[in-house]
Chain A
Amino acid sequence: MDPGRRVGLYGLVAEFDNSDQLLRAAKGSRADGYRLVDAFTPYPIEEVSEALGHHHSKLPLIVLIGGILGALGGFFLQYWVSVIEYPLNIGGRPLNSWVSFIPVTFECTVLVASLSAVLGMLALNGLPRPYHPLFNEERFALASRDRYFLCIKKLDPAFDREGTRKFLEGFDPIGVYEVEN
């Protein structure tokens, strides 16, 4: 991509004292035409995610697929072992005694679904990510304590260094900071 992307300004970050102000700023920025906006909060706030247009997560679908694969894999592992590879006659019971295969099938379903939930969540969020430009801003450490941040990225078509700063200051933040890449 653009080699210049890694240097210079990343975006503008506004720090807020409370979640209501952040919510107003988030809604305002979307209404004003900004698209590359992200909010950072010490705990999940559903309204903010919705205001920024995060309505549907792909995660449930990933977990569903994981669960189905786990169930099929678990069952057919047992089927293959018990019927094809290593048939054992246990008191004349059918080789495909599917009722006794249910517990292991269930455990495999849960195992693969849970692994896909965690790995899927990390993948969708682009984690692990050891470096991020926002960590350059010292104040940003408070995002994991009690402050609320709104970031408008420079790559946003509507971004304008002075204009966006004025716009963010209109929401009465504690401060607006320029974040370098």
Chain B
Amino acid sequence: MSVDDRALPAKPPVIAPGHTSATVSDKIGEIVFRKTPRWWYFAFAGSFALVMLLLMALTKLVVEGTGIWGLNNPVGWGFAIINFVWWIGIGHAGTLISAILLLLRQEWRTSINRFAEAMTLFAVACAGLYPLIHVGRPWLAYWLLPYPNTMGMWPQFRSPLIWDVFAVSTYATVSLLFWFVGLIPDLATLRDRATSGFSQRIYGVLAMGWRGSAAHWHNYETAYLLLAGLATPLVVSVHTVVSFDFAVGQVPGWHATIFPPYFVAGAIFAGFAMVLTLAIPLRAIFNLHDFITIRHIQNMCKVMLATGLIVAYGYLIEIFMAWYSGHWYEQFMILNRITGPYRYHWWALILCNILVVQLLWIRKVRTTPVVAWIVAMFVNVGMWLERFVIVVTSLHRDFLPSSWGMYSGTFWDWATFIGSIGLFLALLFLFLRFLPMISIFEMRTILPKEEAES
């Protein structure tokens, strides 16, 4: 009796039939030990070149200061904040998949949670970079932390900016812990599979002597569930706090109570788009069609559609509240967004985040990976535009027409942004090469029982 016959006759299985505990372990573990494929060198070299671009941009920044960016008065928050919010939003899908879907017992999450968590870590690393460099003197960024110092100064705990320091650093730490705890049994599998003394030693040290003891599993499972339970409210809090950075301010276009839920939904929307962007090529390259099935792609598309609709609702409410509030500046801000100098950004955002996403209602679109990938790319771009619109159009024309201005990114803004995409990809390629991209031990647990024992 297999699980699928009994409960879900209509749904395709989350793992292709015919797999056993041994084949799952071998197929995923083998990717790490096989000879490095040629494409990997090209891909890694390409992304590493972008990391060099990032380093160049950062060096220029340290030498000359934030004047190399397009920041000005009135737009004091430019690419750095846009990219920060964009990256941290992308990270949210990883935690959602690993924690919330685990608590909801969504078995299909198992084959995508590992690399989605890795994606979270790398996205948070890229995100964390921006506030640090945006302070202008990154070597003094530790001033953000509360510590006894000779200046006798302390952070201002009533400010959302300091909440952000705690939220993002906690998020980075907990994501790393969650990811590493999930890796321990798989590192033991790699240790036991490794043939060279060097890799045995490295994986052996990382696996910390894991033996799969029943007593250990008992504590392990408890720890994993508790971490999921802790990460769930955490992930919601992180983007809520990020939205407070805006919502607590009084600038028209920022000062809105809809911001926390709309930011959290936007984060999940962007994150699932990025998971799809990565998962669809990976499953083709590594021939993982057995584990990342059409059902996974379908489900992720559905989550994207649902969160996309919440985001669309957020846009509508912004417009509605501007009218309903009877607030001149609020009304001008919305009109300026839709018809002002940045109108193309706004309309492109509506195209990417609302119109294109409606294609996902069609089953054929959800089940054709290439098309789903294209929709996901639209969302990636759209969510970046959303943050651009929120940051720039709100700031560039606020209360006093005499202080209006325009903003655009300079070469160095773009170099930093594209460089951070390179950093993200480079870390991802290293991860794919040296660690199992799918959680092996969790895959074993969702095998139909019969086959696990044959």
A contact set with B: CB distance below 8 Å: 17-20, 26, 38-46, 48-49, 52, 54, 57, 59-60, 63, 77-78, 81-82, 85-86, 88, 90, 93, 97, 100-101, 103-104, 106-108, 110-111, 113-115, 117-118, 120-122, 124-125, 127-132, 134-135, 140-146
Contacts and interface: CB of A to CB of B under 8 A. Distances in A.
Interface residues of B, number: 64
A78 B205 CA distance: 39
Contacts of B211: 40, 132, 134-135, 140, 143
Contact of B215 (A54, A140, A145): A54
A95 to B, nearest CB: 10
A114 B231 CA distance: 8
Interface in B209-236: 209-223, 226-227, 230-231, 233-234
A97 B192 contact: no
Contacts, number: 195
Main secondary structure of the interface of B (DSSP, over half): helix
Contacts of A78: 157
Q: Which of A48, A117, A142 has the most CB of B within 10 A?
A: A117
25 contacts: A18-B452, A18-B453, A42-B21, A59-B222, A60-B226, A86-B152, A86-B154, A90-B156, A100-B157, A101-B157, A103-B166, A104-B163, A108-B170, A110-B231, A111-B170, A114-B177, A114-B231, A121-B220, A127-B208, A128-B208, A129-B209, A144-B191, A144-B210, A146-B22, A146-B25
Contact of B218 (A17, A54, A82, A131): A54
A57 B174 contact: no
A127 B173 CA distance: 20
Contacts of B208: 122, 127-130
Interface in B11-46: 20-22, 25-26
B158 interface: yes
Contacts of A106: 233, 237
B256 to A, nearest CB: 18
B220 to A, nearest CB: 6
B442 interface: yes
Contact of A19 (B189, B220, B237, B452): B452
Contact of A45 (B160, B214, B223): B214
Contacts of A63: 226, 230
Contacts of B214: 26, 38-41, 45, 48-49, 52, 54
B249 interface: no
Contacts of B156: 88, 90
Given A59-B223, A114-B173, A118-B177, A40 B157 contact: no
A115 B177 contact: yes
A59 to B, nearest CB: 5
